[in-house]
Amino acid sequence: MDKNYCLVMAGGKGTRFWPESTSKKPKQYLSLLGDNTSLLSKTLNRFEGLVMPDDRFIVTVREQKELVLDSAENQISKDGVIFEPAGRNTGPCILLSLIYLLKNGADENDLVSIVPSDHVILNEKGFQNSIRKGFKLASETQSIVTIGIRPHFPHTGYGYIKRGKSSGEGYEVEEFREKPDFQTAKTYLASGDFYWNAGMFMAPIKVLMSEFKNCSPELYQFVDLIKDSFEDEKKIEETYLKMPEISIDYAVMEKSKLVKVLEAEFDWNDLGSWEAMESVIEPTENNTLIKQKGHYLDNSTGNIVYAPNKFVSLVNIKDLIVVVNDDVLMVLPKEDSQKVKEIVGHIKQNKDESLLSLV
């Protein structure tokens, strides 16, 4: 019987949740939902009953080894971390990981689910139903099945997937669309034929390998070199750095004729900014308070406050983001949540050694 594997991609270094998220401790290692469980650990937990711990793998860079091991304790095997020699986007990362699975006992007919490490999904039962159906559809049709999120507003920050005719419990993929402008996003929403692309998919390993070969020969040409040098860290790195820096969407998904889409049975949030916390944390008197230790609220609404183990008092303020930790206090209007990256950019350009440790 074919086995199920999962690959969790955890090498990102985004700083959209600065000052908590930094290059040394990215978002996937943070516990942002009011408990002490990291987003990576929650991602692994969602595969409980679907994929055995020994068949779960995390892909990351070597600098994040300790963070991974701290977050994934008892949720993966001792060989469950695959190290990417350098960040080269998701195309090379996934191809390297598939070769690792095959070199370590996976059969080419086995199925693999590939997911990001830092998304929030509250409906775990719905997630498991979707993954189970996705594995079934991928196996029966020998295809790549991607999970589509039913859009509930015209979002301009996501790529979209247009569905075609039905195929089992899913649909053929008619095409992938880039991030649209607002008017185009409204037409997508109104048509009912489009999904948000959440970057989650599953397939038989051999189908993914053959589609890399067919759709991305510029990546696949390195497969034999990687296979032959897997025990030699230096050789792997030399080969890996020659591979094109390309996403899995551009390398395979947008070119393949074997991609199907399955509508998600769960909520989904990629936590793209502090503002997104409003949709995943229960409000406290019309405010979003995260990890606070008591509060006093007077005529204050729509604020997002991250203040671990601190008493929060808000008086006559509206729609602000307030983030405080041991080193930084950040306050900005909610509508400017994307400007966090400008703060990070300023600190990096400043080159003040005492500040660089903050990013």
Lowest mean pLDDT among 24-28, 134-138, 168-172: 24-28
Q: From residue 288, give the alpha-carbon distance in Å to each of 141, 214, 231, 308.
A: 44, 48, 49, 13
pLDDT digits (tens, 9 = 90+) for 157-199: 899 999 999 999 999 999 999 999 999 999 999 999 999 999 9
pLDDT digits (tens, 9 = 90+) for 106-123: 999 999 999 999 999 999
d(CA 24, CA 43): 20
Q: Residue 227 has what pLDDT?
A: 92
pLDDT classification of 338: cutoffs 50, 70, 90: confident
Contact, 69 vs 81, CB < 8 A?
A: yes
Tokens of 299: 């005529």
Q: Residue 138 has what pLDDT?
A: 98
Q: From residue 98, give the alpha-carbon distance in Å to each of 149, 154, 172.
A: 25, 35, 24
Partners of 53 in beta bridges:
none
Q: Residue 355 has what pLDDT?
A: 81
Q: What mean pLDDT value characterizes the chain?
A: 94
Q: Residue 118 has what pLDDT?
A: 93
Average pLDDT over residues 208-236: 94
Does residue 57 carry a pLDDT above 90?
A: yes
Q: From residue 103, give the alpha-carbon distance in Å to each of 76, 107, 324.
A: 18, 9, 46
Q: Residue 351 has what pLDDT?
A: 72
d(CA 208, CA 282): 39
d(CA 236, CA 268): 35
Q: From residue 10, give the alpha-carbon distance in Å to each of 81, 101, 107, 116, 332.
A: 10, 17, 24, 7, 28
pLDDT classification of 87: cutoffs 50, 70, 90: confident
Q: Which of 112, 129, 115, 116 is nearest to 266 (CA)?
A: 129
d(CA 226, CA 233): 10
- Output the DSSP codes for 335-353: GGGGGHHHHHHHHHHH--H
Contact, 305 vs 322, CB < 8 A?
A: yes
Q: Residue 56 has what pLDDT?
A: 97
Q: Which of 94, 127, 132 is nearest to 8 (CA)?
A: 94
Average pLDDT over residues 201-213: 98
pLDDT digits (tens, 9 = 90+) for 41-54: 999 999 999 999 99
pLDDT digits (tens, 9 = 90+) for 240-267: 999 999 999 999 999 999 999 999 999 9
When mean pLDDT is compared over 31-35, 191-195, 271-275, the highest value belongs to: 191-195
Answering whether pTM is above 0.85, one says yes
Q: What is the largest CA-CA distance in the chain?
A: 66
Average pLDDT over residues 309-327: 95
Q: Residue 173 has what pLDDT?
A: 97
Does residue 233 carry a pLDDT above 90?
A: no
CB burial of 118-144 (b: ≥16 within 10 Å; e: otherwise) equals: bbbbeeeeebbebbebbbbbbbebebb
